[in-house]
Structure 1
Amino acid sequence: MSKVDVLLVGGGPVSLLLTSILVRSELKVLTVEQYDKFEQGHYGRACVLYPGSLEILELLGVYERIADIGFIIQGTKTFKDGAEINGRGWSFIDEALRNSDTMFKFWCPLNFYSFIVSQLSFGIRQKHLEDVLRDFISKIDTDVVKAPAKLLSYRIAESSEYPVIATIDERGHSREIQCKYLVGADGGRSTVRSLGNFPFPGTASPHKWIRLDAIVVTNMPSSRCAVIAIESKKYGNILWSPIDNGRTRLGFVCPDEISGDRGSKITEEVIMAVAKQALQPFTLEFVKLDWWTVYEIGQRVAETFKSGPVFLAGDAAHTHSSGAAQGMNTGIHDAVNLGWKLAGVLGGLYHEDVLDTYTSERRASAQRVIDIDRNVAAFISGHIPAHFGAPPNADANEYLDRVFSANAAFTVGLGVSYSINLINRAPTTDAAAKIGHRAPDGPVLRPGRRLAQPLRSLVRYTGRFWALVFAGILAPTPAADFRALRAHVDSTSPAPCEFLTLLAGPGCLQPAEALGAQPLGNAVYDPTGEVFAAYGVDGAVGGIVVVRPDGIISFKTTLDGVQDLVGYFAPLVRQQVGKRLEIPVQVPADGPIGGENNVEGGKE
């Protein structure tokens, strides 16, 4: 009987991304997928990544591998009866990004210093992301992903170190696998969810939608640069989105006259003919139809995402329409949330209680997606739910805009947040740097460099928390507080987190000389004060902000709050955080050390 740390069921982007997080932590992992993905390569499935997902993929080192494949969508338009309507349709994405600090505002350069922000999203079919993730995993371990291989059953042996015993069928041969944890990321018809009797309540919609990918020719303006909404009484709110390799994703309501008889009237020729009718008065010609589907819409969410050593993620945990392109994006947030927690617990870094926060955090987020989607799916289909109390003959597209706008930041992934819990503690009333919310970004300078770089590019995924040490404007008081923190860290082995030191100002002095001690981790300068302001830190006082491995702020204290920091990590980490600081720190009367009092060996 084979033994692994984690057995993952499913070969989609959620399972593969989670696998990539686990294998880089040198854990023993097996991922099984019941279909041969090479035969499935023409399938369309999900095709849009929002900035919040792209930030996660960059954090994990994956974005650079897909940057040259996907299509950068550079605007939005809405048409009705052939005329353009401003401020409708997908314009909510622009609203979410307009005042955001995300670096995923793709741009068109006018010259070296001037550019126009024009990005909305990133069009890439799911199969290309899967290919990249499989390649990423194979470079670490070539024997992790098995396909076709199907989960047949599993049982739990409570007293065992490897409590889950699963039976796998691989090309007609069955074998048993023992694992510490089992993750079902095997889609809406999840075998793991079914075998584990996870309650999966929800509702089904009477609407059917058509989705297709094709190479097409049209006279519709901006067809190869913008995501477009076409408002139609018969075909609902039609989606037009450029995606990778010259393809376009087209989606619309399936007319009743062709969806009857359980779809028996639907053929490839019928799909193309209906698409041409839906796009009128614009013309549409098909060069190559890659894929099409007709599907019913339902909204369901599992009552729990964790039952003992078994987890659900992605569509196995929640299903909904593709109306707001949330499937792959929500699943990516599931994967990184569960991934760093599983890797940390199995690696002996975090207490197992950390895993209990997965359900509370991700289920609340998924439930919000479901609640939004029930309304969005109805509006796109041309119907207004009764609870809106709309007057007769009201326009469903106007209500769609209201819901999209009200939830814009959440939909693009930049407004995903988590409540106070074991990890997210010490809530603050600050308007900036809120606990449980995404860590802000901003330009910082490394010593000796002329050009700034995003702060988040220096806070990459390592599986450990990051402590951002805002040393402040280097007057004697914050410098002394920093040196006390530095001495404490030197007395602690190993430290429970990674460090990055931020100094306010243009960086005229070398960090060690300015601080009077070696910086904690790398040092960067905030020349404009933008980053200090984004995190709500007073440069004259300084502060410490703890950021989770998935880029979420989890704790905040003052620069002299060494014991607050110790208290924060105590219930999270298994290794000793460090004893109380008892070494007296001598602070020179004339401020930061310089000249003959130079720093040597990282200590005073």
Structure 2
Amino acid sequence: MDPEVLVVGAGPTGLTTALELARRGIGVRIIDRAATPNTQTRALGVQARTLELFARTGVTDELLARGLRADRFNVFSEGRRILRADFSGLPTEYPFLLMVPQNEVEDVLMADLARFGVTVEREVELTALTPSIDGVTATVTYGERPADARTYPWIIGADGAHSTVRSLLGVGFLGSAFDEHFAVADLRVDWDRPPTEFFAFLNRGRFAAFFPMLGGWHRVAIARPAGEEGWERGSVPTEDLQAAVDTIVPGRPQILEVRESGRFRINQRRAAAHRSGRVFLAGDAAHIHSVIGAQGMNTGIQDAFNLAWKLADVIHGDAHAGLLDSYEAERAPVAARLVKGTRAVTRMTLLRNPIALAARRTVAPRILGRPHTQRALTRAVSQLDVSYHDARGAAPAGRAAVGDRAPDAEAGGRRLHELLDPVGFTLLEFGTDTAATTDLALPGSAAIVRVPDASAASAAYGITGPTLVLVRPDGYIAARGGAEEIRRYATSPARIVDASSRGMQ
């Protein structure tokens, strides 16, 4: 079929977008200027919320087979532990961070995309965009061959931090870079710390973070203050990495082997807009931030899940084009919160002031050790707290309001997320009479699931009486209440989670 959507960029965000569109019967073309697929580790770590979403596509099991499940996070300040966080209590089927390299994620997504007859077109570079009322004309080049221009109804720019799409649109990229210099390396180290735990060591403006990988390897990120000689130029020799480890990490563990290394600067930026007419920005093209927390790849993938079902519904004629306005309305607060949060955490790790360092060593352990703080921290890192309920971009633990993630819990011997429709809406019936939903005009061909009384799912959703909960295709709550509340959402002009529907709790 003629493609309805051109996706520019074949990283995790672009591949997820293309896959989600293809699964819904939308013709999609995906291009990338690179000659071959990425073979470098780059991003590392797939969060619990991302694994939940990938489970709807059927690729989570393959990712689990390729990764290491990391379940705890440790932070030390000048040799003293100030944090030990445990993911095992998270209310999800995936209470861990899956350490799987970006290139492995891309490989799994490309294989699944091929099942729908879609392959990445390589060495194809976008050079011009010409918007019109009915579409966007994209001009691309094929190496030495003549340029080609074709009009698409929709274009999605998932082409990274140096996005050509964003540049051609003239959309600003707001923010700044940190002054400190960073190095990253994949290495094996001689120590006796648990192989499935994260370790971050902070030491007077320097830090070294060790992220576990399969086979006894670690991804190590190291920061040193600006102005220190020899760190900002050239390669990163093993002796320089060892010298940094000796300075920062208690016990001075020895580096046994280095597989690859490089240098980078941390930028904290987000696009001035996520959309311009029929063109959308997603992933690093829309926002970049500190590597601390392993949030970047996951945030881009979740951009894709948010946008793809809405665009598919509009293309199929099941929703008004106004629904697409909710993409930026929902994802921009999430990106803004992420940029702000990772900036604050990064600044905290790079403290040099003696008074601030003393407070970090003495006050931080008491605050970070509180159960409430631990719960909030692990939910944020795993992105289970992401919410579209309001402009804060996050939900408190235990809430299941409109715009929040639909909780997962036991329901009649199965997990509720297993019962959700893989591509469409799902109506959950909690203690209601089946006749109450007989005449409902549900969005698309929504699946209907009757949740057993007194199940853990009822408690997770805060059910106190007969209630209907409509879950969106991306696993967030669209509406809840009685038949009238569900009907109001399903028949709204654009099926957007707006202020009126957010009151239906």
TM-score norm. by structure 2 comes to: 0.88
How many angstroms does 1:286 deviate by?
Answer: 2.8
Listed one character per residue, the Cα deviations across residues 46-93 of structure 1 (whole Å, up to 9, x for unaligned) are 101221111111122221121110101133334466x662x51xx345
Matched, 1:469 2:429: yes
CA distance in structure 2 between the aligned counterparts of 1:356 and 1:398, rounded to whole angstroms: 46
Gaps of 5+ in 1: 106-119, 385-389, 446-451, 473-477, 505-527, 575-604
Structure 1 residues 269 and 344: alpha-carbon distance in aligned structure 2, compared to 1, 3 A threshold = same
The match for 1:109 is none
The match for 1:157 is 132
SS in 1 for 2:159: coil
The match for 2:92 is 102
The match for 2:67 is 70
How many angstroms does 1:252 deviate by?
Answer: 1.3
CA distance in structure 2 between the aligned counterparts of 1:400 and 1:211, rounded to whole angstroms: 27
The match for 1:125 is 101
Match of 1:169 among 128, 135, 141: 141
CA distance in structure 1 between the aligned counterparts of 2:397 and 2:340, rounded to whole angstroms: 29
Structure 1 residues 398 and 325: alpha-carbon distance in aligned structure 2, compared to 1, 3 A threshold = farther
Match of 1:181 among 128, 141, 154: 154
Structure 1 residues 335 and 383: alpha-carbon distance in aligned structure 2, compared to 1, 3 A threshold = farther
Listed one character per residue, the Cα deviations across residues 488-512 of structure 1 (whole Å, up to 9, x for unaligned) are 25xx6996522111232xxxxxxxx
Structure 1 residues 323 and 181: alpha-carbon distance in aligned structure 2, compared to 1, 3 A threshold = same
How many angstroms does 1:440 deviate by?
Answer: 1.1
Structure 1 residues 324 and 400: alpha-carbon distance in aligned structure 2, compared to 1, 3 A threshold = farther
Gaps of 5+ in 2: 496-505
How many angstroms does 1:200 deviate by?
Answer: 1.4
CA distance in structure 2 between the aligned counterparts of 1:485 and 1:33, rounded to whole angstroms: 46
Match runs of 1:77-476 below 5 Å: 77-79=74-76, 85=81, 88=83, 91-92=84-85, 94=87, 98=89, 100-105=90-95, 120-142=96-118, 144-158=119-133, 160=134, 163-173=135-145, 174-214=147-187, 216-222=188-194, 224-233=195-204, 235-236=206-207, 238-254=208-224, 260=230, 263-264=233-234, 266-277=235-246, 278-287=248-257, 289-383=258-352, 391=355, 393-396=357-360, 407-419=377-389, 432-445=399-412, 452-462=413-423, 464-470=424-430, 472=431
- C-alpha contact 2:321 2:494 (8 A) present in aligned 1: no
Larger-gyration structure (1/2): 1
How many angstroms does 1:260 deviate by?
Answer: 5.0
- Kindly tell me the number of residue pairs found equivalent between the two proteins: 485
Amino-acid identity (%)? 27
- C-alpha contact 1:467 1:544 (8 A) present in aligned 2: yes
Match runs of 1:553-564 below 5 Å: 553-558=477-482, 561=483, 563-564=484-485
Match runs of 1:512-551 below 5 Å: 528-538=454-464, 541-551=465-475
CA distance in structure 2 between the aligned counterparts of 1:431 and 1:243, rounded to whole angstroms: 32
Listed one character per residue, the Cα deviations across residues 369-391 of structure 1 (whole Å, up to 9, x for unaligned) are 0111221121222357xxxxx94
CA distance in structure 1 between the aligned counterparts of 2:167 and 2:11, rounded to whole angstroms: 18
The match for 1:7 is 6
How many angstroms does 1:484 deviate by?
Answer: 4.1
- C-alpha contact 1:69 1:245 (8 A) present in aligned 2: no
CA RMSD of aligned residues (A): 3.0
- C-alpha contact 1:380 1:396 (8 A) present in aligned 2: no
How many angstroms does 1:188 deviate by?
Answer: 0.8
- C-alpha contact 1:199 1:302 (8 A) present in aligned 2: yes
The match for 1:502 is 451
SS in 1 for 2:178: strand
SS in 1 for 2:407: coil
Structure 1 residues 396 and 178: alpha-carbon distance in aligned structure 2, compared to 1, 3 A threshold = farther
How many angstroms does 1:244 deviate by?
Answer: 3.5
How many angstroms does 1:411 deviate by?
Answer: 2.8
The match for 1:483 is 435
How many angstroms does 1:458 deviate by?
Answer: 1.4
Structure 1 residues 391 and 280: alpha-carbon distance in aligned structure 2, compared to 1, 3 A threshold = closer
Listed one character per residue, the Cα deviations across residues 250-278 of structure 1 (whole Å, up to 9, x for unaligned) are 111136576559513x3434544335434
CA distance in structure 2 between the aligned counterparts of 1:257 and 1:437, rounded to whole angstroms: 45
Structure 1 residues 59 and 233: alpha-carbon distance in aligned structure 2, compared to 1, 3 A threshold = same
CA distance in structure 1 between the aligned counterparts of 2:260 and 2:363, rounded to whole angstroms: 31
Listed one character per residue, the Cα deviations across residues 273-296 of structure 1 (whole Å, up to 9, x for unaligned) are 335434452322333x33222111
Structure 1 residues 399 and 53: alpha-carbon distance in aligned structure 2, compared to 1, 3 A threshold = farther
SS in 2 for 1:536: coil
Structure 1 residues 15 and 271: alpha-carbon distance in aligned structure 2, compared to 1, 3 A threshold = farther
